[in-house]
Chains A and B, each alone.
Chain A
Amino acid sequence: MSVAVKEKETILNFLDGDFGTVSNIPTIAGVNEKGAGNISEFPFPKKKDEDWRFTDLRSISRNHFVPVADAGAEPVGDISKHYLPEAKNSRLVFVNGEFNTELSSTEDIPEEVIVGNMAAYGDNEILQKHLGKYTNYDQDQDVFAALNDANFKDGTFIYVPKETKVEAPIHILNIFTDAQKAFYATPRVLFVGEAYSKATIVEEHIALVENEYLNVTVNEFKLFEGAHVHHARIQRDSKKANHISRPLAHLDKYAEYHSYTICLGAKLFRNDPRVVQNDEEVDFTIDGLVLIDGEQIADTHSAIDHRHWHAKSHQLHKVVVNDNAHSIFNGKIFVREDSQKIDSFQENRNLLLSENGTVNTKPQLEIFSDDVLCSHGATIGHLNEDEVFYLHSRGLTKKKARELLVYAFTLESIETMEVESVHKLLLEEVVKYTSRDEEFVAVGKD
């Protein structure tokens, strides 16, 4: 297979797969065909590409990934400790990208609402009408979105009808198991919220062991007039895994979309959230919290596209880097010519705990209109040694003082979590991160 694409490096150089096979559901097959065309066309990113300048992709390009079916993946076993009490019966489970009926439970979902796997809704008009209609990653020759397009045969399908509120949070639980070979998986989500509907989504990615895989996700969220979504995304992939994520939200008038992406796992996490303002008066958030150490790379390239009047957007991206980890942030904000009265906030705050960590940050504002309130900023700093001493002088060890300060740094991001158990889980994750056995590599005086 690689012979055919020798002269140009594509993602096909790094994985096996028969992308001629498409889903037997016409709607999905259409997207598969488009994707199959694109993956053999789109060049694999290089350092000289502006959007990939700082991102080391060798954990993909030096590996070889096979389809899950050929990977010798372990069965999933009991994963009930990962269930959320609030979402006991509003949960979809995907194991290595494949839907698992037994572990899923949707009893608490009201009848008129759809929370299910796409393959079961092949005839559904809403699915047919919306699937693949909003992602705009192709315009950038995005090989990863193309891989997802080409490969997914199933995925999450959520439809909330007009003026309907889904009380229970909807838990999309992506589980990755051990396998003999490095594999790739392509989780896909389509969310359609009709006018003045309301839902909370918790999207999780959890590895059961520290194995190698490539997790390529595409999310399409379409919010009609006044629809309201709270979307928590918790990434706890294996620290040997690659997770490339393309979540897009397409917002109509008065829509509110608030998403919070928490990055804890993965060797390489590349997240390109996009929000398209499709009408006036929208309000949205794409916050992020990144806690990385060891050799982890976490890269966020976001794009916010203000195309109409009156938008309020919020992006707080907080990052803690330890050891040799590397964080990259590139936040594009467009304000088009016809778009006035925009209130846009963007801030990237980085806390470096080690001498060898790396942070690259670049806010990128492209504003073509004049009535705009755009505040943006980026900071990179170590822990404040005066603060450490203050706590230390009150009897806390230096280690404890630093732990508390890192904890305090992250709290603001975690407090936004609506679902109580997710909030609690994240607090535990932060404690785990800050209280590793070793001292933080000393920064500043000791």
Chain B
Amino acid sequence: MLEIKNLHASVEGEDEQILKGVNLTINKGEIHAIMGPNGSGKSTLAKVVSGHPEYEVTEGEILFEGEDVTELDADERAHLGMFLAFQYPIEVPGITNRTLLRESYNTIARENDREELDPLEFDDYLKERLEVIDMKDEFLERSINTGFSGGEKKKNEVFQMAVLNPKLAFMDETDSGLDIDALKIVSDGINKIAGPENAIVLITHYQRLLNYITPDYVHVMMNGKIVKSAGKELALELEDQGYEQLEKEFSVNGEAQ
């Protein structure tokens, strides 16, 4: 579904590379976890994949379902079925969740020659999707993330994903800042959404999320590269040992510096 080949990226207009040759293949039906120390480039990878204009791809390519999307605008990637749950979902005062979601849902439907939903149909659909994440419907009337608690913002990202039903979702630290109940609700929601036709990439610092969602693969990112990939046991290993061992290994090899 997603194939990232030798991806290099920098902040637009600057020389310094943040991503330094990322390779990653994700197939339908898979759940991947990406871990790694602060500043290693995880969020940058997610944003570059979603088409954030702040970054420039200097080398390599991103293929989505066989199509090269490296140069596509963010909205076009969304139309294809790509989704990013932001690490720091921003507040957008004045635009309600409902307004955004109806606009998003119908735009994506239109672009894919699917039928748009009228306001009443859409309301019913929203009500049903609210259940995935156990959110109260009063959140629909509130401005996007405005005044939401940290945890509510994260839940709202998952809710948007539940509504838009993307083929591929990057979820950037959606577990951070959640209390234990919220973590269960959010993981539950993600598990409900995950299926054989879509794929999910969880960026996380914590093994505890992976107690609830079982990844097929765990990758470690360091200094702009994926330095190690393995099964879910890797997360446990990292929890035990931290990144130190890996860091040594890779700076010795001269790879990470």
Residues on A lying within 8 angstroms of B by beta carbon are 384, 386-387, 389-398, 400, 404-405, 407-409, 411-412, 445-446
Contacts and interface: CB of A to CB of B under 8 A. Distances in A.
A4 to B, nearest CB: 55
Given A393-B84, A394-B78, A395-B75, A411 B104 contact: no
Contacts of B74: 389, 392-393
18 contacts: A389-B52, A390-B92, A391-B92, A391-B95, A391-B103, A393-B75, A394-B78, A394-B103, A395-B75, A395-B164, A396-B107, A397-B75, A397-B107, A404-B95, A404-B99, A405-B95, A408-B94, A412-B94
A409 B94 contact: yes
A242 B191 CA distance: 63
Contacts of B144: 390
B90 A395 contact: no
B104 A395 contact: yes
A398 B75 CA distance: 8
Given A387-B92, A407-B94, 5 more contacts: A391-B103, A394-B103, A396-B104, A408-B94, A445-B12
Nearest to A410: B94
A411 B96 CA distance: 12
Interface in B93-107: 93-95, 99-100, 103-104, 107
A396 B94 contact: no
Given A395-B79, A397-B75, A445 B93 contact: no
A400 to B, nearest CB: 7
B100 A394 contact: yes
Contact of A445 (B53, B79, B95, B143): B53
Contact of B100 (A389, A391, A407, A411): A391
Nearest to A395: B78
Contacts of A397: 75, 107
B119 to A, nearest CB: 16
Nearest to A400: B103
Nearest to A444: B53
Nearest to B99: A404
A392 B75 CA distance: 5
Contact of A387 (B54, B90, B107): B90
Contacts of B111: 395
Interface of B: 12, 50-54, 73-75, 77-79, 84, 86, 89-90, 92-95, 99-100, 103-104, 107-108, 111, 143-144, 160, 164
A389 B79 contact: no
Given A395-B79, A395-B104, A395-B107, A408 B95 contact: yes
Contact of A396 (B53, B75, B84, B160): B75
Of A386, A387, A390, A391, most buried by chain B (CB within 10 Å of CB) is A390
Contacts of A393: 50-52, 74-75, 77-78, 84
Of B50, B89, B94, B104, most buried by chain A (CB within 10 Å of CB) is B94
Nearest to B76: A395
Contact of A394 (B12, B73, B104): B104
A405 B108 CA distance: 20
Of A391, A407, A445, most buried by chain B (CB within 10 Å of CB) is A391
B52 to A, nearest CB: 6
A21 to B, nearest CB: 52
Contact of B53 (A408, A411, A446): A446
Contacts of A394: 78, 100, 103-104, 160, 164
A411 B51 CA distance: 30
A392 B111 CA distance: 14
A371 to B, nearest CB: 32
Nearest to B50: A393
B108 A395 contact: yes
Contacts of A390: 86, 89-90, 92, 144
Ranked nearest first, the 10 interchain pairs of A and B with the lowest CB-CB distance are: A408-B94, A395-B78, A394-B104, A393-B74, A395-B107, A395-B104, A395-B108, A392-B74, A408-B95, A387-B92
Contacts of A408: 92-95, 143
A75 to B, nearest CB: 43
A409 B143 CA distance: 12
A360 to B, nearest CB: 25
A407 B86 CA distance: 24
Contacts of A396: 75, 100, 103-104, 107
A271 to B, nearest CB: 25
A398 B92 CA distance: 15
Contacts of B100: 391, 394, 396, 404
Contacts of B73: 392, 398
A445 B54 contact: yes
B44 to A, nearest CB: 14
Nearest to B96: A408
Contacts of B93: 408
Nearest to B163: A394
A400 B79 CA distance: 15
Nearest to B95: A408
B92 A389 contact: no
Contacts of B78: 393-395
A349 to B, nearest CB: 12
A392 B51 CA distance: 10
Contacts of B99: 404
Contacts of B160: 394
B242 to A, nearest CB: 32
A446 B52 CA distance: 10
Nearest to B81: A395
Contacts of B92: 387, 390-391, 405, 408
A390 B93 CA distance: 12
A404 B103 contact: yes
A400 B90 CA distance: 18
A163 to B, nearest CB: 38
B93 to A, nearest CB: 7
A392 B100 CA distance: 10
A114 to B, nearest CB: 41
A151 to B, nearest CB: 43
Given A394-B160, A398-B75, A405-B95, A389 B103 contact: no
A435 to B, nearest CB: 13
